[in-house]
Amino acid sequence: MSKFFVKSENISSDLITITGEDVIHIKKVLRLKNGDNIIVSDGLGTDYNVEIHEIHSHKVETKIISSYKNISEPPVNTILLQGIPKSDKMDYIIQKGVELGVNKIVPVVTERTIVKISKDNYKKKHERWNRISMEAAKQCNRGIVPEVGYPVNFKDVVETLPGDALKILPYEKEKSQGIKGILKEKSNNKDIYIFIGPEGGFCEKEIELALKNDFNIISLGPRILRTETAGIVVLSILMYELGDVGYV
């Protein structure tokens, strides 16, 4: 069934009201009718099986049939801090990151960030990126919609992260330490921050700063991965090692 997200204030004891662009999608694209069933999520981890009751011009009213806890959320809170890449690579990173279970994505400005985004232009990108996150969350049955934050400076964010969080940064010059070993040593961390550099990677000063702030510098193998690939690889490994994918 099709899935939609609503704000908690749109949910009453036995009714859920859908508003916004989803109304057009229900009417014009899916061509749903009164009596059809859909899934609605509150974005906080609860899903509702509902029946469409009334379709209006600006809202769709539904009746709750049942509610249940969404089982698609991973066991840890992962935050992807992505060096801002060129062109539309960020679209791909967001889409695949959401599919793999990331909880939040934060664009990061680093020493080697090439893209310069004006304040007005970034507002449009920010809206677009969060729409991509929403659509990906619907498609892969997430219980939340991962937020895409506003850009931060690498130095600022490195120095303000929680001390008890697990902080991972892949670096092409690291040859010995991998993700599996880090997870064995620090298996109790519930918050995991993943730092990925832009095209050109991180500079040595940034690596030194990361080490001073208790980052785990890791290797992703003998091949140098593109910026749009590295974060997806790290998330995939994390989810597999933590038992979120690959049950057999």
φ, ψ at 2 (rounded to 5°): -70, 150
List, for residues 99-109, the tens digit of each pLDDT value.
Answer: 999 999 999 99
Instruction: State how far the Cα of 66 lies from the Cα of 88, in Å rounded to an integer.
Output: 39
| Residue pointed to by tokens 């008890």 | 164
φ, ψ at 46 (rounded to 5°): -115, 130
pLDDT of residue 198: 95
Is 60 exceeded by the pLDDT of residue 95?
yes
Instruction: State how far the Cα of 62 lies from the Cα of 42, in Å rounded to an integer.
Output: 14
Mean pLDDT for the chain? 93
List, for residues 62-83, the tens digit of each pLDDT value.
Answer: 999 999 999 999 989 999 999 9
pLDDT of residue 138: 96
Average pLDDT over residues 214-235: 94
CB 226 within 8 A of CB 166: no
Q: What does DSSP assign to residue 26?
A: I
Torsion of CA 119, 121, 125, 126, to 10 degrees: 20
Per DSSP (E only), the strands in 190-245 are 191-196, 216-218
Average pLDDT over residues 14-33: 96
Instruction: State how far the Cα of 128 lies from the Cα of 123, in Å rounded to an integer.
Output: 9
Assign 246 a pLDDT band (cuts: 50, 70, 90).
Answer: low
